[in-house]
Amino acid sequence: MARMTAQRRGRPQAGTPPTAEEWQRATPVSFAHDWRGENADPARETQVRMLWDDERLHIQFHCRYRGLHTFAERNCRRDQLWLRDVAEVFIQTGRESTYRYTEFEISPNGCWLDLGIAPGVKARLGWDIRSRVRVLPDRQVWVGEMSLPLPTLAGGGFTPEATWRVNLFRIEGAEPRRFYSAWRPTRTPQANFHVPECFGELAFGA
């Protein structure tokens, strides 16, 4: 099974976001193919890194893009964010059943979304999500970072020896030419990210 590793930060000052040097020490995973594992488009490559400390799980999406398609709102929680360009992470900590997990999204204009997923349910979490976004138009890149409350995510019982399940996604563009990409392909007939059987593994490094 494919695996990515969240690297432990050294001794960060409480509440501070990761530095560029810390991000560079984290090993990335990358993907540019669609949700079926086909039609790779290097101009839409997504590179993801993760870091963790005692308070937070930090996720960075480095997204190459052809164009930006976003809502007018900026830097806020936004329902149905997946209807525009987003980067997404689905996380299953091991305490949930197969079809229960959390979903987090971030957009190029700084909007974000947090949801609890269960069969037939997408529930607002209302967690303390911290985010920041940079768009670098000269490089056709946007970078989104999210910091999630780790004890809350783990249900109060986090241990770095645990192995969680995870998948990573991107959506870019407007229909009928939207590009749906996934780290671990779901291979469904139509674009569908909600296939937890296809999640990879998330380990926590020292």
pTM of the shown model: 0.96
What pairing do the DSSP bridges indicate for beta strands 141-149 and 56-64?
antiparallel
50-109: pLDDT as tens digits: 999 999 999 999 999 999 999 999 999 999 999 999 999 999 997 656 789 999 999 999
Judge whether residue 157 has pLDDT over 90. Answer: no
The torsion angles phi and psi of 113, rounded to 5 degrees, stand at -150, 140
- CA distance linking residue 58 with residue 131, whole number of Å: 9
Say how far apart CA 93 and CA 26 lie, in whole Å: 20
Distance separating alpha carbons of residues 116 and 105, to the nearest angstrom:
12
Domains of the chain, earliest start first? 3-204 (2.60.40.1190)
Is the pLDDT at 12 greater than 90, yes or no? no
Q: Check if the beta carbon of residue 70 is closer than 8 Å to that of residue 109.
A: yes
In order of 32, 127, 138, 147, the CA distances from 183 in angstroms are: 8, 25, 26, 20
pLDDT, residue 95, reads 60
Backbone angles phi, psi at 4, to 5 degrees: -125, 160
